Amino acid sequence: MTSAPALAGSPSAPPGGPEPRTAVSAAAADKVFPLGRGRTLQALAEVDIEIAEGEFVAIIGPSGCGKSTVLRLAAGLDVPTSGSVEIFGDTPQTLAAQHRLGVAFQEHALLPWASVRENVALPYRVSGRTVDDARVDGLIELVGLGGFEKARPRQLSGGMRQRASIARALVLSPDLLLLDEPFGALDAVTRRRMNAELARIWAEERITTILVTHDVDEALILADRVVVMTGRPGHVRTTVEVAFPRPRGTETTRSPAFHDLVDELTSLLDADEGA
C-alpha cells in the first residue's frame, strides 16, 4: 500500500544530487484590480510560491481565489501590484518574449481553418523560426494524434483538440508549461483519459509545469506538490507533497492513502478563512 504523502514546503534535492534550480519564485505577490469609481478588488495577498526546475505543481483553491491570476502573473499577462514573480531569475515578460513559455487553457484556441499540423507548428511561425518538422511530427505522435495531421479542429473530439493544444504549447520546448483547467470542459471519462495522457507526456518531456485545476483527484494524479489557496484574496494556505510513485494508475487512485489525501485536501478547500 502506498504511504500517505506528507506536508512539505518545497521539493528536496535527490540524494547525493545537486540542489534543483529554482524555476518559479513568487515572493509576497499581491494583485489588486481597479473596478472603477475608486473601487478595487484584491485577488491575491502576499502569495509565496517556489517551484523547482522539472517539477510539476498543481494549484487548487475555491472558485474566485486567484488561481488563474497566479498563472497570468507567471505568464507575464499581468504584473503584481506589489511583490515579485520571477521565472528562472528573470521577468515572465522576458521569457514570454523569448517564446520560452508554453500555455494551454480550457479553451483550446486552435485556429479553426488550420490543420492539426499547422496549429502545432504555429509557434514556429509566430516566433519567426524555421519549422522543425521532426519536432512537430514527434509531438503529434506523442499526444496520440498520429493520422490526424490534416484534420481541422471541427473534425476532432474535445479531448483531441486539447491534445493538439498541449502539443502546440510544447513544440518550442519551453522552459515552463502553464496549464489553466485544460480539461475542465471535458466529460469525466475523457478527463481521466487526458490526465493519464498528460502524465505520460510530462514523463517524456519533463518540463517544469504549473497546473491550475478545481479537481483534487486530477491534482494528485499529476503533481509532485499541490499548492492549496484560500478564498479571496487568495494566499497559500499550505503546500502538500504528493509522494505516490509514478505512473499513478488505478492501483494508486483506488488506494486508501489516495482517498485519505483527497479528503484532506477537500476539507482544506471547504475550510473557513483563517481556520
Spans of all domains in the chain: 1-11+19-90+208-275
Whose grid coordinates read 520546448? Answer: 173
pTM across the whole model: 0.88
pLDDT level of residue 273 (50, 70, 90 thresholds): very low
pLDDT digits (tens, 9 = 90+) for 92-131: 999 999 999 999 887 778 999 999 999 999 999 999 999 9
Selection from 194, 186, 181, 189 nearest residue 221 by Cα: 194
pLDDT level of residue 149 (50, 70, 90 thresholds): very high
CATH of domain 1-11+19-90+208-275: 3.40.50.300
| pLDDT for res 16 | 56
Residue 179 β-bridge partners: 104, 211
pLDDT digits (tens, 9 = 90+) for 210-238: 999 999 999 999 999 999 999 999 999 99
> Comparing 11-20, 38-47, 75-84, which segment has the lowest mean pLDDT?
11-20
Average pLDDT in the chain: 88
Tell me the longest C-alpha to C-alpha distance in the chain: 58
- Residue 102 phi/psi, 5-degree rounding, is -110, 135
| pLDDT for res 131 | 95
9 pLDDT above the threshold of 80: no
